[in-house]
Chain A
Amino acid sequence: MIAAGLLLGLLPHAAQSADELWDRGERAAAIEAMLAELSARGDDAGFRRTLVERELAVHRYAAALEHLEPLGDELDAERGYCLYRLGRFEEAVRYLDPTRRNHALLIFDTLEALGRHAEAADALARAAEILGADEPRVLARVGKTRAREGDHAAAVKAFRAALDADPLLMEALFGLGRALLRTGEREEGLRVLARHRALVPLVDELDFARDGLDLNPLHGPNHARVGDAERRLGLLDRAEASYARAAQLAKPEEAAPIALRHARLLDEDRGDPKAAVSVLELAYHRVRDARLAVRAAAVLLAAKDARGAVEWLEEAKRVRPNDAEIQRRLEEARAAVEAGG
């Protein structure tokens, strides 16, 4: 009993340690710390649930499924998700929760993958009730179902509606192109498919960047990569938010490249040089990287603010006094000032 008491006395500290590791983004270490405690905390359902949540976050589905075992059926949805990710589709559909927003379409997709189309149709109807019949992913699945049934005109209608709500929904764009070809609308179909072809690499890049966040969501450059992909897709608000988050999380050596990309968006896409220079200035105060000063000067020079450019290049020269390129640019900027810029 004494030993147990001592052990229990240690537990809050150990748990806190795992939490700290988790919060620092050291996810694997955090889980290892929790596993070390598991036998002592065997009856602590809350602890076990947290462990499962964290295992799911780092794709440890087999372990999560095992750790779910003593827990009740209120966690069947998690069981279902684990089974889905482990490729055990027949079992997964028994556990996925049709009332959950994030499971509604998963059930449809799983039943479709199993070729159980009649049940899939029911699942899609339930998904429409939960998510809304005008939700683009629901509409895209309606389109795919109609196409599979051979009703390509209805498929076109559903895919168009999906794209009205989300123009970057690739499955709807591709489905629309194919359905148009089937209805004899060859030119439009090929045009839509060409747009799909152009967008796919960009969407893939975004998906790939997002995957990086799964394993380390506290790594600044991971967020910046997401921002890059969002920017290329024209999702500027989202890209800005990603760059801002990246800057918050960046280590000193990571700050400059992130700010340079953020500034490029603000200057080139938003047409807002002032905001671009603000981002560069903020980062410069943190890391005093000459590249930031040089970029700020370039932005200001392009915006006809030669005096501002000179100030930034003089700042850059203080950081890199022997840099010939900075000197050359500084002379050019001064000449622009003298010329009345």
Chain B
Amino acid sequence: MEREELNTEDTESTEIGRAAPWFRDATATSGLLFEHDAGFSAEKHLPETMGAGAALIDADGDGRLDVYFVQGGAFPPAEGADGNRLFLGDGAGRFRDATAASGDAAHAGYGMGVAAGDVDGDGATDLYVTNFGPDVLLLGERGGRFRDATSAAGLGDERWTAGPVFFDADLDGDLDLYVTAYVEIDVANPEWCGDRAPGWRSYCHPDRYSGLPDRYWRNDGDGTFADATEAAGLADNAGKGLGAIPCDPDGDGDLDLYVANDSVENKFWRNDGTGSFADDTLFTGTGVNRNGATEAGMGLAVGDPDGDGDFDLFVTNFDDESNTLYRNDGDGLFTDATIAFGLEAPSRLPVGFGTVFEDFDLDGDQDLAVANGHIIDNIHLYHDGKTWKQPAQLFVNDGGRFRDAAELAGALGAEPRVGRGLYSGDLDGDGDPDLLLTQCGGPAVVLENAVARGGARVVRGLAPGTRVEARTSDGRVLVRQLGAAVSYFGLGESAVFLGAGDADLARVRVREPGGAWRTLD
């Protein structure tokens, strides 16, 4: 990104006051030129509507943020697809395509999502890629190269898998893996949904298909994983899963798991601290919305938008539903507080996918961003108020209630897109959180933070699910979760960006999963 030019523009923005946009399109200057190929076909196969994800990682171990994109291809999947792409960053907002030298990171499946983490403890970032077809585990090596270790690790799943995530479920010091699976379709005999008139064929609703069970893979610490779905108590999960997010809403130091399922009940799995889970969905009240209705869970975020010191859950959903914010009431119960947070009405028409809780303006509270886009390309024929491409949304946190701040969204919401992934990270190395948005069948978009102008206290290098607390000079306690920011089908930077507005950060302490509190210098 052109730092000198940006500084000039920032000065001008300041002069015109608070209405300056928060995000600026920096795609062209970043070099992150990636176009997702959905393989849209006349048969309207459902997988064409889903992808794809990306991960903001340090792939080559140089301390600078890189980006890994998951690619689709022709559908049904065929040989010779482009494959996934790895872009290495220079730490100042410029990236170069390093796929050719990335070894097996150039994997070519019909891709969906990606998880990232150091699963073998060698200090390099590893990847797990879900596909419509066989998944792959890619172990990181020196210099941004990856090696396919799927079989050697005892992994392998040939079903339609979706949202993967690494986290230390059993607190044994290594990263375990949870992979949601979606539905079973017959590619050879695709159903016809919608009107038979030319141009009216439509993608089918997932209600047409049977859900597939998710899988939990326990890392045995010797380079192999074991399918421990049943042993961990996670077997009852055939729920058309699109995403899973580890989190610690009860503050007991281990990571519970919240799973977003499409059109069926979401699941809340409570961890007893040993990697053994119990279905606590009914008690927590996080399976359905306040009307007792299932929703089409897509993207996930964990945060503390009301600043009360515990983690709330946010899930994005389909149109004619709202996105849903489950407020943690602190007693094991959650309340669907979507209305109270001001998120009900603005989210009823869009189809929400990727989402991020982030303090974009570094004023000490978490704002919210949502990538939107319908799954049905001809939805306008069936409901003329709906569109395939939809603008992403920025919700500004005003004292624990969100405001749909379209006037501030800038390039984030400037044009309608088929939004899917939305990931936060410091892409230009200036010390504030930027955004990367992926599209289904379209180019990725880099959105530079134009409101914060750097200056965040950035916490990095800790295990996914680490709880970060910061006291401010005006008496607030900022609570954040580091890592495991899955959004939809991917992963944001494993970092927390702390700001306190006009106040100062007095003390920052962290607790990794299963660990003790320690204060950061």
**Which residues in A have some Cβ–Cβ distance to B below 8 Å?**
28, 58-63, 85-87, 89-90, 112-115, 144, 170-175, 177-178, 181-182, 190, 193-194, 196-197, 200-201, 204-205, 208, 215
Q: Is the CB of B205 within 8 A of A59?
A: no
Q: Is the CB of B333 within 8 A of A197?
A: no
- State the CA gap A28–B200 with chains docked (Å): 11
Known A28-B197, A60-B384, A61-B383: A174·B288 in contact at CB below 8 Å: yes
Q: Is the CB of A194 within 8 A of B288?
A: no
B17 within 8 A of partner (CB): no
Contacts of A144 in B (CB 8 A): 290-291
- State the CA gap A295–B207 with chains docked (Å): 29
Minimum CB–CB distance from A201 to chain B (whole Å) comes to 7
Known A89-B345, A174-B291, A204-B294: A61·B385 in contact at CB below 8 Å: yes
Q: Is the CB of B344 within 8 A of A62?
A: no
- State the CA gap A339–B381 with chains docked (Å): 63
Interface residues of B in 275-322 (CB under 8 A from A): 282-283, 285, 287-288, 290-294, 322
Minimum CB–CB distance from B318 to chain A (whole Å) comes to 13
Q: Is the CB of A200 within 8 A of B339?
A: no
Contacts of A86 in B (CB 8 A): 349, 385
3 A-B pairs with least C-beta separation = A174-B292, A87-B349, A86-B385
B439 within 8 A of partner (CB): no
Q: Is the CB of A59 within 8 A of B382?
A: yes
- State the CA gap A204–B321 with chains docked (Å): 14
The secondary-structure label for the interface of chain A is helix
Contacts of B264 in A (CB 8 A): 201, 204
| 0/1 interface trace, chain B 82-109, chain A, CB 8 Å (1 if under) | 0000000000000000000000000000
Name which residue of chain A comes closest to B339, CB basis: A115
Q: Is the CB of B283 within 8 A of A181?
A: yes
Q: Is the CB of B385 within 8 A of A200?
A: no
| 0/1 interface trace, chain B 236-275, chain A, CB 8 Å (1 if under) | 0000000000000000000000000001110000000000
B6 within 8 A of partner (CB): no
Minimum CB–CB distance from B343 to chain A (whole Å) comes to 10
Q: Is the CB of B385 within 8 A of A205?
A: no
B340 within 8 A of partner (CB): yes
Known A60-B384, A62-B384: A171·B293 in contact at CB below 8 Å: yes
| 0/1 interface trace, chain B 332-345, chain A, CB 8 Å (1 if under) | 01000001101011
Q: Is the CB of A178 within 8 A of B285?
A: yes
A-B contact count (CB 8 A): 87
Name which residue of chain B comes closest to A175, CB basis: B292
Pick the contact of A193: B197, B282, B294, B345 (CB < 8 A): B282
Q: Is the CB of B205 within 8 A of A208?
A: yes
Q: Is the CB of B383 within 8 A of A59?
A: yes
B172 within 8 A of partner (CB): no
Q: Is the CB of B333 within 8 A of A115?
A: no
Other contacts beyond A28-B381, A85-B385, A112-B339: 17, CB < 8 A: A28-B200, A59-B382, A62-B384, A90-B345, A113-B339, A113-B345, A114-B345, A115-B339, A178-B285, A178-B333, A182-B333, A190-B283, A193-B283, A200-B294, A201-B294, A205-B207, A215-B382
B195 within 8 A of partner (CB): yes
- State the CA gap A177–B200 with chains docked (Å): 42
B348 within 8 A of partner (CB): yes
Pick the contact of B291: A114, A171, A190 (CB < 8 A): A171
Contacts of A58 in B (CB 8 A): 382
Minimum CB–CB distance from A163 to chain B (whole Å) comes to 12
Contacts of A173 in B (CB 8 A): 292
- State the CA gap A181–B292 with chains docked (Å): 15
Q: Is the CB of A190 within 8 A of B282?
A: yes
Contacts of B195 in A (CB 8 A): 28, 215
Q: Is the CB of A181 within 8 A of B333?
A: yes
Name which residue of chain B comes closest to A211, CB basis: B205
Known A59-B383, A112-B339, A174-B291: A87·B345 in contact at CB below 8 Å: yes
- State the CA gap A85–B207 with chains docked (Å): 22
Contacts of A178 in B (CB 8 A): 285, 333
Contacts of B385 in A (CB 8 A): 61-62, 85-87
Contacts of A113 in B (CB 8 A): 322, 339, 344-345, 348
Name which residue of chain A comes closest to B293, CB basis: A170
Contacts of B293 in A (CB 8 A): 170-171, 200
Name which residue of chain A comes closest to B344, CB basis: A113
Name which residue of chain A comes closest to B285, CB basis: A178
- State the CA gap A107–B139 with chains docked (Å): 56
